[in-house]
Amino acid sequence: MNALGLKPVAGQTPDMMVTVQEQAFQSAVVLPEQFEAAQGETRLQGWLEVASRWAAVGGACLVLLIFLRVLSRQKPEPVPVEVLSLTPDAAARSLPNSNSVTPELLNELIRQKPANVGVALRDWVSNAAPAATSKN
């Protein structure tokens, strides 16, 4: 009643003003041709959805295969390592024990050939890794 904007007059009950009755909806008549066309469209839509999903998976697999093929063609380049001789000044700063390396000596070697640092560190880490795991 509030939605309709009705106000009961004195002595009137809301049931006297408004009644609610069920009404059957009018059904739409579907012709057989329209039904078959609708069925064909839903089948086509189902196939298109499945095809789009598989196309995405196939595209991802294709990109992965291309990446793996390009990766397999890449060969690691050997890094040349030159053996450096110590300058007399650097030899004087080194300790008498030939196995120990001082920070000054390392800095001098790095200044002479910076490319060797990466190779030396890689070798050092790869040689130290089995020893570190065996201690645990």
User: Once rounded to an integer, what is the mean pLDDT over residues 81-97?
Assistant: 63
pLDDT for residue 70: 92
Q: pTM of the prediction?
A: 0.31
Distance CA 52, CA 55 (A): 5
Distance CA 53, CA 62 (A): 14
pLDDT > 70 in the chain, percent: 74
Distance CA 118, CA 122 (A): 6
Domain limits of the chain?
32-75, 78-127
8: CB partners within 8 A, 6+ apart:
1, 14, 16, 17
Do residues 28 and 42 make contact, with C-beta atoms less than 8 angstroms apart? no
Distance CA 30, CA 81 (A): 84
pLDDT > 90 in the chain, percent: 15
